[in-house]
Amino acid sequence: MYSKELRVRIFPVALGKVIYHASTSPNVEVAGLLLGKETRGIVEVWDAVTGPQEGHAGYVKLNEEVMAIVAEKLMTLGLDIYIVGWYHSHPGYGLFLSAIDVRTQLAYQALYSKSIALLIDPSKFIEHGDITDVAFKVFRVDGKLGVIEVPSSIGMDRKKVLESTLAALKGLNIDNSFLLQESPLMFDRAKKALVDVGKKIFRREVVSKK
Ligand SMILES: [Zn+2]
């Protein structure tokens, strides 16, 4: 059967914002959108944004208008990036796609075939404060194979970049729940604040069957 490798790169600002968001909510799931673009067959995640959502222990749902608002803002700002997937947290109970998550992921893949689902568990990081304790994985759903895990890890050389990113985000004093309401998108604001670390790419090249 024909299969194609999919590679993903997550930039430090994007991963830092996901960690930041997830780590401020130790008991309730949080979710948001991943923004980026596909370049030469590689899905790059440049930014993560979020908006109003309904979070519980075991389930989270972004309000339906969030995706439309984000898409419109991206067009208005003339940024050459788009929604490449979503992130959500599983605080303390492991990284996997639930049945509901699979349905959500399939909806994203219907909109953009290379959409990814980023799962994060911030519980150990919250407990110990060590950035290398952040657990995260990328998943996709294959029509025949089901949920495909994209294995990865945070290397020690990424530690400094992520710590700088988190420190800068804390310095911005933003309200996690409504990053989207920052104007312009956090992408620009974070980019300015993180110009020193933003150039370094947190690179995670992963292989997955299309
Ligand atoms: Zn989930």
Torsion over CA: 23, 29, 34, 40 (sign):
positive
Does 203 reside within a domain?
no
Q: How far is the CA of 195 from the centre of ligand 1 (A)?
A: 32
Q: How far is the CA of 36 from the centre of ligand 1 (A)?
A: 22
Cis peptide before 151 (omega within 30 of 0): no
Tell me the average pLDDT across 40-63. Answer: 86
Q: How far is the CA of 98 from the centre of ligand 1 (A)?
A: 5
- Higher local confidence (pLDDT), 192 or 171: 171
- Higher local confidence (pLDDT), 168 or 206: 168
ipTM score of the complex?
A: 0.99
Q: How far is the CA of 139 from the centre of ligand 1 (A)?
A: 11
Q: How far is the CA of 117 from the centre of ligand 1 (A)?
A: 10
Does 174 reside within a domain?
yes
Q: How far is the CA of 183 from the centre of ligand 1 (A)?
A: 29
Q: How far is the CA of 62 from the centre of ligand 1 (A)?
A: 12
Q: How far is the CA of 99 from the centre of ligand 1 (A)?
A: 8
Read off the pLDDT of residues 71-102 as tens digits, 9 standing for 90 and up.
888 888 777 889 999 999 999 999 999 999 99
Tell me the average pLDDT across 142-146. Answer: 82
Q: Which domain holds residue 162?
A: 7-198
d(CA 185, CA 107): 24
Q: How far is the CA of 196 from the centre of ligand 1 (A)?
A: 33
Does 19 reside within a domain?
yes
Does 85 reside within a domain?
yes
Give the pLDDT confidence score for residue 50 in this predicted structure: 85
Structurally, the chain folds into a number of domains equal to 1
Q: How far is the CA of 41 from the centre of ligand 1 (A)?
A: 27
Give the pLDDT confidence score for residue 157 in this predicted structure: 57
> If you write DSSP's letter for every residue of 133-172 in order, what string do you get?
G-EEEEEEEETTTEEEEE-----HHHHHHHHHHHHHHHHH
Does 205 reside within a domain?
no
d(CA 154, CA 202): 9
For residue 10, the surrounding DSSP H or E stretch is strand 7-10
CATH at 164: 3.40.140.10
**Owner of token pair 């930039």:** 11
Does 160 reside within a domain?
yes
Give phi and psi for 95, each to the nearest 5: -110, 110
3-state class of 209 per DSSP?
strand
Does 1 reside within a domain?
no
Does 89 reside within a domain?
yes
Per the prediction, the chain carries an average pLDDT of 77
Tell me the average pLDDT across 179-205. Answer: 43
| Highest mean pLDDT of the ranges 77-81, 117-121, 172-176 | 117-121
Neighbours of ion ligand 1 (CB under 5 A): 98, 101
108 and 86 Cβ atoms separated by less than 8 Å: yes
Read off the pLDDT of residues 25-44 as tens digits, 9 standing for 90 and up.
899 999 999 999 888 878 88
